[in-house]
Structure 1
Amino acid sequence: MSVELLARHAPRRVALEGACNCRDLGGLPTTDGRRTRPGVVYRSDALATLTPADQATLAGLGICAVYDLRTREERVRAPNQLPASAPVQHAFGFIPRGNHEMFAGVNSRQWSPEVTRAAMLAQYERLILDHTECLAGVYRGLLARAGAPAVIHCASGKDRTGIACAVLLLAVGVVREEVVEDYVISHFQRRRVDLFHGTPPAAAVEHVMAASADYLLAALAASERAFGSFDAYLAHGLGLSDLDLLALAHFLVD
């Protein structure tokens, strides 16, 4: 599946030396038969190790805003290396409750793979429900800049970025199966993380590093349970009006 999936979405990939999970959110089909517009919103892992060539690539894409979902500590430890044109950076950093405890449990070998997987499912539910202010901030930033090219990123470009981009794509009408598939691409474009120590169980580490469709589906189901429907989550959880959604679709969908 990985070869076929990556081949199908290869035109969307942005090749960078200092980042491995960068891609365009354009080209995805919507439920009304249209497609998302290329060159408007990109998603990525951390931008802290970009080379001069990478910076030139981003400048060539016209990126003028960066939405960094990492925490302040993460940003200080590994600041973005952006083009000299210095795109506007908006920090909406967050991390789900229980994240530090999960890594401690895995590193100490006290958490089994089964417990770790359950923790990841719970974390995804918290990502979509506990951080609505940060997520809404990203979407309002996109609205304010009226479709100017932007990139949304965190550390690995999988969890926080995965939720932010999935919600955005669903909000503008992208087919749900395609949204899930876009998320799963991150499973095969992994960035090394320095949060594991000692000899933690390989299967537990794999659950943490995975971009499993089940994780994203758990988050979406949680939003629907909490608000009655995904549309209600957009309206009442994120505070996005019908006009906001129309405006997002106006510049994100051809």
Structure 2
Amino acid sequence: MNAVRKELNLRDLGNIPTRTGRKIKEGLFYRSSGLNKFNEQDLEIVKAMGLKKIIDLRSKEERMKSPDPDLGVPIIYFDSYRAKYMDDINFGFDGMLRKGKEGLHQQELRVKYYENMPFGNPYLKKAMELIQEDNVPFLFHCASGKDRTGVMAIVILGLFEVEQEKMIEDYLLTNLYRKSIIDQAFSERASLLQEYPELKGPLLETFGVKSEMGLAIISSILNRYGGFDQYYEQEFGIDAELRKTLIERYTEK
């Protein structure tokens, strides 16, 4: 995957260690930005992965505007799914960089949005089904491969008992992969940030990710269920015995 342009945010969840000293096997779970951004050379590398499924986390409007290229791989999406708070948030540049009380209100809504993403989410349920069915490898993506994709990555990593610290490390890798994009965004808005330094956080959130969001996702699971065991059993029907089987199947020493 080194030949793929880094800003595409394509990476394998393989080799991430678990709390028991094992690691996730390579070549099974991939995350990325929208495949519509991939050029022919990039797509040839994706084709060589032998994907069985692609999960497109974008909205119907996003997909219609910028559809995935046809790679001969079934694409999973749910047109009817609207995450809680989604329709109350302006994810456009104007909305993300609002100032004052309205800006704070939008930030609060975004936190609530990501805190609710792990629950009643058909995309996450489908990913868990694919894992149980051994229907891998699969790739999941949204537009930039950072927020919605980051939620799914955290849930997959948690299934295999990856430590919270390692979940956040993977979440924050987006800032390394998209560094050139983030640096350009900050450079172009240097005068704005000098006048309104409080916009640095929202600007980073627009083009990259903030650890606070990743931590909010994890905390929401623990606050609602008290632990990951209860979360996987209640949300996806994966009890302790099945989870142990999946860990044995998809991780190695």
Shorter-chain TM-score tier: 0.7 to 0.9
Q: Structure 1 residues 232, 58: CA separation in 2 closer, same or farther (over 3 Å shift)?
A: same
SS of 1:157's equivalent?
Answer: coil
More helix by share: 2
1:119 positional shift = 3.1
CA distance in 2, matches of 1:250, 1:62: 22
Normalising by structure 2, we get a TM-score of: 0.79
SS at match of 2:22: coil
Distance in 2 between residues matched to 1:137 and 1:248, nearest whole Å: 15
Q: How many correspondences in the alignment?
A: 234
Q: 1:128 to 1:111 in 2, by over 3 A?
A: farther
Residue of structure 2 equivalent to 1:134:
123
Tell me whether 1:213 sits opposite 2:211 in the alignment: yes
Structure 1 unpaired stretches of 5+: 1-12, 194-198
RMSD across aligned positions (CA): 2.9
Distance 2:231 2:52 in 1: 29
Q: Is the 8 A contact 2:6 2:177 kept in 1?
A: no
Alignment partner, residue 96 of structure 1: 83
Equivalent residue, structure 2, for 1:241: 239
Question: Using a 3 Å threshold, how does the CA distance of structure 1 residues 249 and 109 change in structure 2: closer, same or farther?
Answer: same
Correspondence for 2:189: none
Quote the residue 1:188 is aligned against: 176
Q: Answer with 201-210 or 228-237: which moved more.
A: 201-210
Give 1:141-220 correspondences, 5 Å limit.
141-144=130-133, 146=134, 148-190=136-178, 202-203=199-200, 204-220=202-218
CA distance 1:92–1:138, shift in 2 (3 Å): farther
Gaps of 5+ in 2: 183-191
Cα separation, partners in 2 of 1:208 and 1:49, compared to 1, 3 Å: closer
The letter of the residue matching 1:220 is I
Alpha-carbon distance change, 243 to 128 in structure 1, aligned in 2, over 3 angstroms: same
Q: Is the 8 A contact 1:42 1:150 kept in 2?
A: yes
State the shift of 1:36 in Å.
0.8
SS of aligned partner of 2:38: coil
- Per mean C-alpha deviation after superposition, the further-off stretch among 89-98 and 225-234 is 89-98
Cα deviation 1:50-79 (Å, max 9, x = unaligned): 222122101212222111111222111111
2:43 is the alignment partner of 1:55: yes
Please give the alpha-carbon distance, in whole angstroms, between the structure 1 residues aligned to 2:25 and 2:143: 25
Q: Percent identity among equivalent residues?
A: 24
Q: For 1:188 and 1:102, locate their aligned partners in 2 and report how far apart those are by CA, in whole Å.
A: 25
Paired position in structure 2 for 1:224? 222
The 1:69/1:14 distance shift into structure 2, 3 A limit, reads: farther
From the superposition, tell whether residues 187 and 97 of structure 1 become closer, same or farther in structure 2 (CA, over 3 Å): farther
| Cα distance in 1 for residues equivalent to 2:5 and 2:226 | 43
Q: Using the alignment, how far apart are the partners of 2:16 and 2:27 within structure 1? A: 12
Matched-pair contact (CA < 8 Å) for 2:130–2:136: no
Instruction: Letter of the 2:223 partner, please give it.
Output: R
Counterparts of 1:62 and 1:105 in 2: how far apart (Å)? Answer: 39
Q: What whole-Å deviation, never above 9, does each CA across 1:113-147 have from its counterpart, x for those lacking one? A: 54444333222212123x43331112102322x15
Corresponding residue of 1:118: 108
User: Paired residue for 1:42, among 30, 34, 40?
Assistant: 30
